[in-house]
Amino acid sequence: MSLKSNDKLPSEVMPLKTVTIVGVGLISGSFALGLKDKKIASHIIGVSRTKASAKKALELGLVDEILPLKEAVIKADLIYVAIPVDVTVPIILEVLNRITDKQIVADAGSTKYVLSKAMEKHPMRKRFVLTHPMWGTEYSGPEAAVHDAFIGRSCVICDKEKSDSKAVQTVEGIYKELGMNIVHMNAEDHDVHAAYVSHISHITSFALANTVLEKEKEEEAIFDLSGGGFESTVRLAKSAASMWVPVFMQNRENVLDVLNEHISQLKKFKASLEKENTKFLTELIENANKIKKIIK
């Protein structure tokens, strides 16, 4: 429910005069739209590495102005960083070097342990809140941003005890107002769980797309015969390599662990088919059906 002009924000959500979003893509753009819709921020500044993205973000109304990082940080109450994880560490270090103890910094990256360790000794570490809103699509760029993106989704707040309690309260309050459920976790555990419930899904989708493209040479047949199951499974294969290669590399050990288990499971299906073992194949499928009790 959007706030009317005379509505008040919940007490934990302090109205912010200016928010800077570093990166003007899917997550940050949707975050910016949410801030505008809920009247949490009165002015949003964008920072983009490309002129094309900056122009599009302005045209779409995601941001009110585009500024270089230095100026954008100085003017902001909250700096929200949502860029590929391989460039997040140096950018956040630069941001923390420029802020005062009245400002808050938050990120939206899919990996957390490397980032947490890199910020551990920084004198402004308390002003930084590590977050991972568990939402996304296969699309990227400013045009991918949507209203009401985060409603009903979970947001993981990592290592909250290392951040100022009021900074955490403010960031959590914003996510709650955007409709998210808050989950607390340490950074190391986050990366393990993310590998199992998020990162492996993307690898599976990429691999399935490559399998079909390798075996089915007729593009028209893929288009004509692909059903809902294939489309939903391969949807993530449209995701950008520029985002996911850094995620896989930063979370390499955990991704390899889950990938080994996934390969083991595929081998079981392969063996049951090779041996025409319908009993084992049925057991594998029925065991997988248990996921219905967890995910409706």
Per-position DSSP letters for 203-238, written without gaps between them: HHHHHHHHHHHHH---HHHHHHH--HHHHHHHGGGG
Last residue of a domain, one of 166, 185, 204: 185
Same-domain check for residues 47 and 152: yes
Torsion of CA 176, 181, 185, 191, to 10 degrees: -110
Last residue of a domain, one of 125, 156, 185: 185
Is residue 7 predicted with pLDDT exceeding 50? no
How many C-beta atoms surround the C-beta of residue 60 within 10 A? Answer: 15
Strands (DSSP E) contained in the chain are 16-22, 41-47, 65-66, 78-81, 104-107, 128-133, 154-158, 181-185
Is residue 169 predicted with pLDDT exceeding 50? yes
Residues 39-67: pLDDT tens digits? 999 999 999 999 999 999 999 999 999 99
Instruction: Tell me the whole-structure pTM to 2 decimals.
Output: 0.88
- As a whole-number percent, the residues of the chain with pLDDT over 90 amount to 83
Q: Residue 101 maps to which CATH number?
A: 3.40.50.720
Same-domain check for residues 223 and 264: yes
Q: What is the mean pLDDT of residues 29-46?
A: 97
Q: Is residue 53 part of a domain?
A: yes
d(CA 226, CA 228): 7
Last residue of a domain, one of 124, 159, 185: 185
Question: Taking a C-beta distance cutoff of 8 angstroms, is the pair 132, 155 a contact?
Answer: yes
Q: What is the mean pLDDT of the chain?
A: 92
Question: Taking a C-beta distance cutoff of 8 angstroms, is the pair 106, 129 a contact?
Answer: yes
Nearest to 149 by CA among 183, 182, 175, 130: 175
Torsion of CA 240, 241, 242, 248, to 10 degrees: 120
Q: Residue 259 maps to which CATH number?
A: 1.10.3660.10
Residues 188-224: pLDDT tens digits? 999 999 999 999 999 999 999 999 888 777 777 776 6
